[in-house]
Structure 1
Amino acid sequence: METKRVFTIGNKGEKVRSDCYISLELKDQGGIVVNLNSKVAPIFGKHIKQLCCEILDYFSVKHAVLNIEDSGALDFVLAARLEGVIKKAKHSDKQFLLKQIPENRSMSNKGRSRVTRLYLPGNTPSLMINSGIHRSDSIILDLEDAVAFHKKQEARFLVRNALRSLNFLGAERMVRINQLPEGLNDLPFIVSHGVNLILIPKCENEEQIALVSERVNEIKEDFSVKYPIWLMPIIESAMGVINLREIVESSEMIVGIAIGLEDYTADVGVKRTQLGMETFFARMEIVTICKAFNIQPIDSVFSDVENLEALKDSVLMSKSLGYEGMGCIHPRQIEVIRKNFAPTEEELQEAKEIVDAYDEAVENGVGVVSLGTKMIDMPVVEKAKSIIEKSIAFHRSFEN
């Protein structure tokens, strides 16, 4: 008697969109049988079955029954799910890769704006597909907290295919990997497929940075990846704060440091409050060291997605401390964060006056620069120029 070998993958249910649920039963004979349950079968059924047969043939699956419950899955989702379930059924080192779109071959600069970074669950394609329209500076495909433990492997295939296939409309492409050492298993699915920046959660020491950077460079060399891939450690514990300087100094690939306040407050045994006095030391430590090493300090996410007024207050506090951006867990937070991190009209006007006064003094050969009753030295001038440049960048981002 033949033993049934049935494997499943994906998501199904009334609320599932742009995804599919697949069961694969390997057989000893009978060829390939594809059973498709889909509302779009009359229009796309032939294409879906052809793609499935192409993938099965690629992985040398000759006899199988494939059952698909389709909820509007695009090709990159279907291909990720089917490859994932095949690799549950049999070992293969091959990858079935859809053609990478040209937009996702773009590289990002070390100092680019990262004011708004939108987190997206790495196993939920419906939230990925149109994410670029929200115009965040960065999109984070999350393989860590947003993915259930038993779904980690299938999420890797989906994130890989999303990096290759989805147009994020100019947003920097980020991936938050799993906590190390598990996160090292995520890297082959992202490094050679268009990721710009890797977030390293719960980072506590330079050894973790070395593990990630060495593995990233190995994969880059294996696949001839020439563009830079940046790192952003997330500090989420007291130990991470204590070792912050050695973390920052450990790699030139680090472009910023983020703080995760939910895990940090849990680690130090305090309740997170809106005022934030319990996290003031850790937040200022991050700002101070980031500024000293000319990288970006990035503040924690704000978890109450309904309270936009409280979010505004949190952003203004974050800006006053010296942070240069925050994470977003809902698209509605993006504009509030962007608007309130931007220089105000008063700040911009004062900066213009300072720069004008300095330029006039230089032109007239005056050694002492003043504006009204205040003396102006070079650090003040440089700060004013920075405000003007930041305002221009924010305006350009808004126009785009």
Structure 2
Amino acid sequence: MTLAPEYWRSLLFVPANNPRFIDKAKSVEADAIQLDLEDSVYHTDKDKEDARACIATAAKSLRLAGKTVSVRINQPLDLAVRDIEAAVCEDVSVLALPKIAAAAHVKLIEALVEKCEIKVGMAVGTIQFIVAVETLSAFYQLRSIASSSARIMGLMLGSEDFAWECGCEPSEEVMRGLKQQMIVAAREAGVRPLGYIGSLSNFRNLEEFESMVRRSRAFGFDGATCIHPAQVPIVNRVFGIEEDEFAHAKKVMDNADIARREGKAAFSVDGKMVDKPIIDRAERVLLRARLYRTS
């Protein structure tokens, strides 16, 4: 199942210069494969250049395997320009932009991407953005960053880099309020809040990881990146629609139809009051169910 970027639940990180990992990613049921040019590639000019040279071939092989592709670029402008020139092609749908400093930073990248789209014969606006805020100065510009470009489909707050600047621990307890502010800014701008309320690094304890993903969805996240294939089915399940959630939403909508015919604006389901916000939420669940359920 191929999903448009605005419906992605899971993005699996794969180093752009690792053919073995890229080949393995073809059999992983992630909604997108995110080819990484940033942290998973050594920070030498040669390593960055070699990884950049792999993008076109890797993206094409993934797309031919039925995968949708995102590319995470580097933040320093000299690297970012070369990354973008290598990544903008028909086989890439999204660019992930780390360490965005301000709305003007997004607009600068947007201008370059537009030139690259024209150069390779793509329609202007084809490439979408996932924007990551990871600095203290950018945090106070979340609202303007989130609304700075129509290309932005997702907003993230990078825990590790942000916590380093802030002098705090990147723990769930410490980051919770900060990430909630990011979620609010994303929702106000009409873009998807992506990420976790906690850390994704402990992929070996999948039970603990799933519990954290569930808390993340409850807080308002819509999807997240994965650093190991074992995380993908959990993220897809939790950010998708599970059976009990689908059944409850269907019951709400069935009762809403009856109430509407009876001229009632509110009614009860399973002993709990239901009114417009609850109905709207149930409608959203059923929409997601049409996207994610296989039966």
SS at match of 2:144: helix
- Output the CA distance in 1 between the equivalents of 2:64 and 2:157: 25
- Output the CA distance in 1 between the equivalents of 2:181 and 2:64: 33
| Deviation at residue 346 of structure 1 after TM alignment | 3.0
After superposition, the C-alpha distances for 1:168-200 in whole angstroms (9 at most, x for unaligned) are: 643321000001312121111111352100000
- Output the CA distance in 1 between the equivalents of 2:14 and 2:141: 29
Quick check: 2:241–2:293 contact (8 Å CA) kept in 1? no
- Output the CA distance in 2 between the equivalents of 1:249 and 1:294: 8
> Map of 1:1-400 to 2, 5 A cutoff?
109=4, 111=6, 113-150=7-44, 151-167=47-63, 169-181=65-77, 182-226=79-123, 228-273=126-171, 276-300=172-196, 302-364=200-262, 366-372=263-269, 374-396=272-294
- Output the CA distance in 2 between the equivalents of 1:128 and 1:303: 20
Q: Which amino acid aligns with 1:213?
A: E
| Deviation at residue 291 of structure 1 after TM alignment | 1.6
Query: 5+ residue gaps in structure 2?
Result: none
Quick check: 2:265–2:276 contact (8 Å CA) kept in 1? no
- Output the CA distance in 2 between the equivalents of 1:200 and 1:368: 44
- Output the CA distance in 2 between the equivalents of 1:165 and 1:326: 23
Query: 5+ residue gaps in structure 1?
Result: 1-105
TM-score by length of 1: 0.68
- Output the CA distance in 2 between the equivalents of 1:294 and 1:169: 31
Bigger-Rg structure (1/2):
1
- Output the CA distance in 1 between the equivalents of 2:193 and 2:62: 28
SS at match of 1:360: helix
SS at match of 1:145: coil
Do the aligned partners of residues 267 and 357 (structure 1) sit closer, same or farther apart at CA in structure 2, a change above 3 Å counting? same
Quick check: 1:241–1:285 contact (8 Å CA) kept in 2? no
Provide the aligned C-alpha RMSD in A: 2.0
Q: Which amino acid aligns with 2:88?
A: V
- Output the CA distance in 1 between the equivalents of 2:151 and 2:265: 41
- Output the CA distance in 1 between the equivalents of 2:180 and 2:163: 15
- Output the CA distance in 2 between the equivalents of 1:375 and 1:196: 42
| Deviation at residue 223 of structure 1 after TM alignment | 2.1
Quick check: 2:62–2:68 contact (8 Å CA) kept in 1? no
Quick check: 1:357–1:369 contact (8 Å CA) kept in 2? no
Quick check: 1:257–1:297 contact (8 Å CA) kept in 2? yes
Quick check: 1:235–1:259 contact (8 Å CA) kept in 2? yes
| Deviation at residue 374 of structure 1 after TM alignment | 4.1
Number of aligned positions between the proteins: 287
Percent of aligned pairs with the same amino acid: 25
For CA contacts below 8 A with separation 6 or more, give which structure has more relative contact order.
2
Q: Which amino acid aligns with 2:179?
A: R
Quick check: 2:128–2:153 contact (8 Å CA) kept in 1? yes
TM-score by length of 2: 0.91
Q: Which amino acid aligns with 2:167?
A: G
Do the aligned partners of residues 356 and 166 (structure 1) sit closer, same or farther apart at CA in structure 2, a change above 3 Å counting? closer
| Deviation at residue 110 of structure 1 after TM alignment | 5.2
Q: Which amino acid aligns with 1:204?
A: A
- Output the CA distance in 1 between the equivalents of 2:209 and 2:273: 36
- Output the CA distance in 2 between the equivalents of 1:165 and 1:329: 20
